[in-house]
Structures are given as C-alpha cells and as structure tokens.
Copies of this chain bind each other. A is one copy, B any other.
Amino acid sequence: MKNYVHKVNYYECDRMGVTHHSNYIRFMEETRIYAMEQMGYGFERMEAEGVVSPVTAISVNYKKPTTFPDEIEIELKVLEMSNLKMRFGYRMTVRGALVCTAESTHCFLEGGRPVVLEKRFPELYAKFKEIMDAQQ
C-alpha cells in the first residue's frame, strides 16, 4: 500500500507558525480514506450501505512541528482487528524525519448498532487483514 501525502495548507497553520495540532487528526482520516480507495473500497461505498465507522479513541504524539508548505508522508498500519473494533497506527515523516506518531480505534455501526466487519464486509475485512499480516 502506498503512503499518503498531505501537503500542509497555509490555513492549517496557527499563530505559532506551525500546523495546528488538531489538524493531524484530519490527516489521519484522510490517510484511512486513501487506504480504502487503494483497496478499491471507497469509504463512501460503506456509507452508502448505511454503515458508519466512528472513531472511538485517538492518541497522538507530536515529535516535531511542521508547517506550510511541508509535505507530510503518512504510513498507515493495521494494528488490531477484532470483531467489534479496528486499530490503526500512523507514522508521519517530513523529508524522512519523524514528525508525529498516532493511533486511532474505530467501531462499525449500522442503524446505531455495532456491526461485525468480518461478516458485514468480508471483502474489506480480508483486505485489511492481508495488510496487517503483510506488515509483520
């Protein structure tokens, strides 16, 4: 899977002159969506089927500030897959230097109720599983 690249926008930087820390959470979402696109399974397809994938937890470690017009390269890892949740890892670098590491945990809901990804979207599940296994 290819890494995602987010080019920092001018308006994403704050008064300190650096990318506002809240924006990394958005870059993480962009990365997940990009990964699903690469798997041939766009996020909007899941949504169109009435399944949403809320974030239940995130943690972020900011290592170095970034700023406009840095290009942040983001590597996505699948850290955990269980019946009811998925956990992703993120490694962000700018010109090779580590700037941020992060994790996000997700569940899957349909009509407000938990969905077992493996049953509901076996194909997508298999692709994530394959990526996870390939990482090890």
Contacts and interface: CB of A to CB of B under 8 A. Distances in A.
Interface stretch (A57-65, A80-88, A89-97, A125-133): A57-65
Contact of A69 (B11, B33, B54): B33
Interface stretch (A17-25, A71-79, A116-124): A17-25
A37 B10 CA distance: 13
A15 B56 contact: no
A22 B16 contact: no
Interface residues of A, number: 37
A57 B58 contact: no
A110 interface: no
Contact of A10 (B15, B60, B62, B67): B15
A22 B13 contact: no
Nearest to A55: B21
6 contacts: A10-B29, A11-B20, A16-B52, A22-B22, A56-B62, A58-B58
